[in-house]
Amino acid sequence: MIPIINEQINDFLISLPNVSDDQVEFIKEKCATTVTDDLKKGHATSNVCMIAASILKRSPRDLAEELVSNLKDSNAFEKVESAGPGFINVTFKREDFVSIINYINLNPKDFGTAKHGKNKSIQIEFVSANPTGPLHVGHGRGAAYGDAIGRILTSSGYKVEKEYYINDAGRQIDILTASVYVKLNSDAFMEFFPKNAYKGSYIEDIAQAFKQKNTPSTLKDASLYIKDLPSDEEKEIDELIVRMKELDSSQWFEVKDFALNSVLDSIKEDLSLFNVGFDHWFYESSLGNLADSGSKISLAIQTLKDKKLAFEENGAIWLDTSDSGDDKNRVLIRDDGRPTYFASDVAYHKNKIDRGFDKLINVWGADHHGYIKRIEASMNGLGFDKNRLDVQLVQFANLFKEGKKVKMSTRSGDFYSLKDLIQDIGTDAARFYYLSKQADQHLDFDLDLATSDSKENMFYYIQYAHARIFSLLNKYKANNNHMPSSADSISNGSYRQCDKLIHEISRYPSVVRRASTSLHPHLIIFYLKDLAHTFHSFYNDNPVLTESQENLNSIILCLDAVKSVISNGLELLGIEPMEKM
């Protein structure tokens, strides 16, 4: 019905004296016709008169009165009135108001989907955790968020590709390899373990698995590796890595491949348990080496040099970021000839651009926010409009258990992993909790609250509503063999207890739309909470199964629609609705 109102508003605007087409377009762009927040105001409301008034220099109330009389003349609505400072409130004819029940039940899965994405392609890059250890609870938030916006954008008509960028080329992989290497030869190395190596128990697991599948070479002389290592922890590990590569090259690369793949496999397994899927895994190593002038990384830097955006100074190659508001220029290639992490990232983003996406979304940890300007600078330099890149920052999550903050130390290997979280509270409760707060805000993840069965925990509150409806529908079907065919009592207005529910479900498509344009999945959660509340309230006031058969038929059809909306909403968050609790 809202499109019909908008059509009439359009006609009204055109009919006004002294209005240019541009003005009409501008007004239509700024105004909105929406479902009201309260049935007392009718079913739909528009602020068009107040927008138009300020542009046309007329009184909003006068305009509202004119529009009201036009809308009344059309006989399309039950009631039309102006209200407050110049709102137009429309009450639909009852048959139109309740038609949404039928509409939803005919195609339950489609309700809430939209086409405003126009099949444009969006790439979402998220998680992209370094493959040096298992995912922890911080990664879980990015995973839940990226996956949810992927689902929401897909349902809004975008073509979405989800990608994971694997940092498999940097120094941290060498450290991982060295850590495993030392474990493999722990007998020869005696008590020695580098200060800066990874210490988690998974390192030991990888070493054990390696021994099962390969024959580790025997070290002839461990002292060649560890004699006179620098005492500085950074230099110690770097020197050790150099020696390992020299002394035992073939074994080094075997261990490296094995360790990387082991960690990657565990990451993939955790993500799959978490109901998060990726379409594409991009390896940093596929960008190639600077030594190869035809590699992606060389070509990217060459392009920047050609455009005079990259230059040499003090022996290093720098990117000029002055145009983007970054506070200083950034090194691409060090004075010793090795590329920085940033250089890889520039090449990676050039590759994304070359793949021709209409829009790129990067979901990054909040600690990367200083990084946005330099990457925008590089993209602008490569001729990609930086407005087509959208960086969504996800804040860290603090974990609380029994009211106390759980300490996490990656260095010692003592941390609460995503897998632990899934095992403790389940995938759905965890995803829900992550998504229940705006992603760029700090989140206190309270394990006890996430599993509590009180109203404070929205997850169970919403699921309980779904389960209650499911149970009612089952009982109805047991008594009646099949679902009712029509909702006469509701249509003819003899039963009006469901009106609030009908009104609430008619809001759903606009909620999804807002969630998709703002990339805010939590809006769906808060909507579902409201809907669940409306339902629980109805359920308490009205003993459904003892109603007359005619009323019962209507109620069942209405509740079936409510159930579809809850289930569709949860689906967008990647959460399975519960059928019983």
Using rule CB under 7 A, residue 472 touches RNA: yes
Q: What is the biggest distance separating any 2 CA atoms in the chain, rounded to whole angstroms?
A: 97
Tell me the one-letter amino acid at 126.
F
Q: Write out the two tokens for 219.
A: 């070290």
- Touching RNA, residues 164-223 (CB under 7 A): 167, 169-172
Q: Is the distance from CB of 255 to CB of 119 less than 8 angstroms?
A: no
Tell which positions 304-343 bind RNA, by CB under 7 A. Answer: 314-316, 327, 330-331, 334-336, 338, 340-342
Q: Which residues pair with 390 in a beta bridge?
A: 361
Cβ 113 to RNA, closest distance in Å? 20
Q: With CB under 7 A as the rule, give the number of residues binding RNA.
A: 85
- Is 406 a binding residue for RNA by CB under 7 A? The answer is no
- Compute the least distance from the CB of residue 292 to RNA, in Å: 18
Span 45-64, contacts to RNA by CB under 7 A: 45, 47, 50-51, 53-54, 60
What is the distance between the alpha carbons of residues 538 and 128, in angstroms, rounded to a whole number? 45
Within positions 341 to 370, which residues make up the interface with RNA, using CB under 7 A? Answer: 341-342, 366-370
What's the closest the beta carbon of residue 255 comes to RNA, in angstroms?
18
In terms of CB distance, is 116 or 369 closer to RNA?
369
> Residue 448 or 456: which CB sits closer to RNA?
456
Please give the residues from 29 up to 48 whose contact with RNA meets the rule CB under 7 A: 32, 34, 36-37, 40-41, 45, 47
Query: Residue 13 corresponds to which tokens in the numbers above?
Result: 């605007």
- How far does CA 402 lie from the centroid of its chain? 28
Told to check if 229 binds RNA by CB under 7 A, we report: no
Q: How far is the CB of 458 from RNA (least distance, A)?
A: 8
CA dihedral sign, ordered 266, 269, 271, 273 = negative
Cα separation, 464 vs 320, in Å, equals: 56
436-465 residues near RNA, rule: CB under 7 A: 437-438, 440-444, 453-456, 460-461, 464
Shortest spacing between CB 530 and RNA, in angstroms:
7
Q: Are strands 359-365 and 121-125 parallel, antiparallel or unpaired?
A: parallel
**What is the CA 543 to chain-centroid distance, rounded?**
39
Q: Judged by CB under 7 A, which of 522, 531, 566, 577 binds RNA?
A: 522
Stretch of 144-152, 188-196, 381-389, 516-524 contacting RNA, by CB under 7 A? 516-524
Q: Which residues contact 282 (CB under 8 A, 6 or more apart)?
A: 163, 164, 165, 166, 348, 351
**Of residues 318 and 416, the one with the C-beta less far from RNA:** 318
Percent helix / strand / coil, the chain, rounded to 5: 55, 15, 30
Q: State the pairing for strand pair 79-83/44-46.
A: unpaired
Within 126-165, the residues that bind RNA by CB under 7 A are 130
Contact 226, 249 (CB under 8 A): no
CB of 505 to RNA, least distance (A): 17
Is residue 536 within the footprint of RNA (CB under 7 A)? Answer: yes
CB of 474 to RNA, least distance (A): 9
